[in-house]
Every structure is written in C-alpha cells, then in structure tokens.
Amino acid sequence: MSAPPQVFQLAQVPLSCHSFNASNDRLVVSLSSNDAVIYESQDGEWKPQETLAEHDKTITSIDWGRLTNRIVTCSQDRNAYVWTEVPDPTSPRRLVWKPTLVLLRINRAATYVRWSPKEDKFAVASGDRAIAICSFDSENDWWVSKLLKKPIRSTVLSVDWHPNNVLLAAGSADNKARVLSAYIKDVDKRPTPTVWGDKLPFNTVCGEYGNPTGGWVHSVGFSPSGDVLAFASHDSSITYDIHVRTSSLPFVTLTWTSEEGLIAAGHDCQPTLFKGSAHNGWKIIASLDDASASGSVGRSSVGRLNNEAFNRFKNADSRGATAQSGGDLFTVHQNTITSVRPYTVGADGSVSRVSTSGVDGRLVIWQVSGGVPAVAALTGRIGGMHLR
C-alpha cells in the first residue's frame, strides 16, 4: 500500500457524519449532538473553529456544498438548515455562518441530506416514509420542499444523486433501494434520456431493487456515469446488477471511486475496496486497512471474535493469565465507520483518496489509488478480513 492513512482523533464521542469543503482545508462534523462543529486545518491538525447551533435534537447528516460553499444540516428535530457564510454585521471583516430555515413538512426525524450535483436543490431523507426535495424560493427567502412519497414504505436511510441533477436513489428500511425522479420544474431543464428512462416527471419510479436475503438498505450510490446503482444492506452484502454477499459484518456506507470500483465500510471497522463490472462480476479486492502496517498479531478467520478483549478472556480461561493489553481492535478505526466520502476527486471523476468518520471519534483519510497492489497477498486474507 502506498501512503499510510492519516488519522485524526477529533473527539472522544462518535462522529455521526462529516463533510469537507471544496479545498479540503475545512471540515464540518456532527459529534452526535445538537451542534455541528466546523474544524479548520492548522499545521496538519484539525482545530475547532465555529459551532453551528440551531437544531434542538441530534444532527443526523451534514453536507458541505463544494460549488456554493453552503452547508446543509438535518436533524432528528425534523428540521434542516442551510448555512451560508456572510460578513458579521458587527465586524464586517469577520465571516459568520447564518442559518436559513427549510420548510420540510415532515413529521418524523430527518435522517440524511445531500446537495444535488449542481447544488441548486438538496434531498432530505426522513423517517416519515418520504424524501423532501428542497429548492430555494427567493421571494420568501427560504427553502421550500416537495415530497417524494410513493412507493416508500418505511424510513429512508440514505439518498444519492444521479449526475444529471434529476434522478435520486434512495435506500430504505423496507429492504428496497429505489431510483426516483426529483425533477423540479422551476429549477431543472428537461434531462436527456438515461438508462433509467427518458420521461421523468416528479416522483417517477424508475426502478425498485431488493435482494433475497433482505435487510435494511443502509447506503446507495450511483457510479460516476450514473448508469450503475449499488447499495449496501444489512445482510452484509453489496448489490449491483448482482448480489455480492461477504463474510464480514454489514456495511453501512459506500462511495464509488471509479466506474469499476467502490469502497464500502461499516460495522467491520475497515474500508473495503470492491472492483468489477457488469461483464466480469464484482468482488472484494482488498481492505484499505493494511494488515502488515502495525505489528503482527495472530489473526483468526472468525474475525471480530478475535479481538484483544476476546483473547484476554481466553487467556484468563486457559492459562489463568491476566493480560495487560488494551481492548483495541487491530484496525485503524476502533469502532463502526459511519460515513465514507470522496476526498480527492480527479478531473475524470475518479477518486484517489477517501475520508471516513467513525463511532470511535476518528477521522481518517485513506489512499485509494495505488491501493490495488499485492492482490495475491490479500486474497488469503479475505476470509479473515474482519480483523488482524
């Protein structure tokens, strides 16, 4: 593996989500609280800079628009805010973040939010069996929403925009991933036909996908071209046009790195690279978490059972020993990864670095390109890929 991952311990509490700005020198995270915190990069470290306090329940998702430098947050309080950076009225040289209310019209928690590619709309998923598609109403200076309701039967856990700014993929707790049209008349031009269809009025259902072993759909993602949809569900599988079941714990988040590759992460505490295509099928290539990097601790194929805590009890049982080691996992992340996002995106849309945030309070930046070496050495590890 090329460069080692950069690890930042931002907090001692779970990071439920994170998002970088366009130049990657600022970062906004939710520390599982009502506030979002903006961090600034200073001498290779992340320093808290400003707190966005407006929500009165836990923030569930954040997205920092890279084109427009606007932050959108959504929360269990059923609200979303769009934050813009404006000059402070008292000292005009300082910039402050000002919230604008969004009229979501949902009566359950908002679970997930993402700007559309052009950043003139955003989608808010919710526990109300609906997705709010929000656009700006300049007359009233607020964001208005239109609800996608049919045929969603349960909480929507994630969404992802198609590059054409119109289609939206949604993963839901009713075990289905769907592709829907989020066409807004005043915002969008008529989209050109795609593999998903050519006539796309609002709420057109272009596809509905499940898989036989079921499970909540935690995460959805369009490939860079928008032609392929992948989703991760709670049965430890990733589904493209085919259903790839893995031996690990379930993935909860994924991001495409190219037309033939994606990275998924979740309860297994390590980002995993999948590669493939419609013709050749899909398979696990490697974990980005390089096993050989830190020490050589015996690894068992029964993955997570073989952590230090387990071994400590085992030693105490078999040898009466009281080992003095910590209960650390052998992965970089010490707990579930909550979010994986592209960090460095090339001109052709390929992703060379990704960032992850975890329940362990860590933010990690991983190298992807050059991350496909030594495949032969890795294949032996796949069965026991959970942990070192």
CB closer to other proteins out of 89 and 380: 380
- CA 206 to chain centroid, in Å, comes to 23
CB closer to other proteins out of 40 and 308: 308
Segment interacting with other proteins (CB under 8 A) among 85-93, 113-121, 242-250, 355-363: 242-250
**Shortest reach from residue 85's CB to other proteins, in Å:** 40
CB closer to other proteins out of 47 and 283: 283
CB closer to other proteins out of 50 and 174: 174
Q: What are phi and psi of 125, to 5 degrees?
A: -85, 155
Among 61, 181, 246, 270, binds other proteins (CB under 8 A): 246
Q: Is 367 in the site for other proteins (CB under 8 A)?
A: no
Segment interacting with other proteins (CB under 8 A) among 38-46, 135-143, 233-241, 329-337: 233-241
**Shortest reach from residue 216's CB to other proteins, in Å:** 8
Q: How many residues bind other proteins (CB under 8 A)?
A: 27
Q: Is 86 in the site for other proteins (CB under 8 A)?
A: no
**Shortest reach from residue 287's CB to other proteins, in Å:** 14
CB closer to other proteins out of 165 and 233: 233
CB closer to other proteins out of 47 and 108: 108
Q: Is 154 in the site for other proteins (CB under 8 A)?
A: yes
**Shortest reach from residue 263's CB to other proteins, in Å:** 17
**Shortest reach from residue 126's CB to other proteins, in Å:** 15
Determine contact, residues 264/271, Cβ cutoff 8 Å. Answer: yes
Residue with tokens 């592209």: 342
Among 75, 239, 248, 336, binds other proteins (CB under 8 A): 248
CB closer to other proteins out of 303 and 358: 303
Q: Is 301 in the site for other proteins (CB under 8 A)?
A: yes
Which residues, 6+ apart, have CB-to-CB distance to 347 below 8 Å?
Answer: none
Among 245, 328, 346, 377, binds other proteins (CB under 8 A): 245
Strands 71-75 and 6-9: unpaired
Q: Is 250 in the site for other proteins (CB under 8 A)?
A: yes
CB closer to other proteins out of 154 and 204: 154
Among 116, 165, 236, 352, binds other proteins (CB under 8 A): 236
**Shortest reach from residue 315's CB to other proteins, in Å:** 19
> What would the two tokens of residue 350 be?
């390929």
Strand partners, 61: 74
User: In terms of residues, how long is the chain?
Assistant: 388
CB closer to other proteins out of 134 and 387: 387
**Shortest reach from residue 239's CB to other proteins, in Å:** 13
Residues lying near other proteins in the complex (CB under 8 A) are found at 129, 153-154, 174-175, 212-216, 233-237, 245-250, 301-304, 383, 386
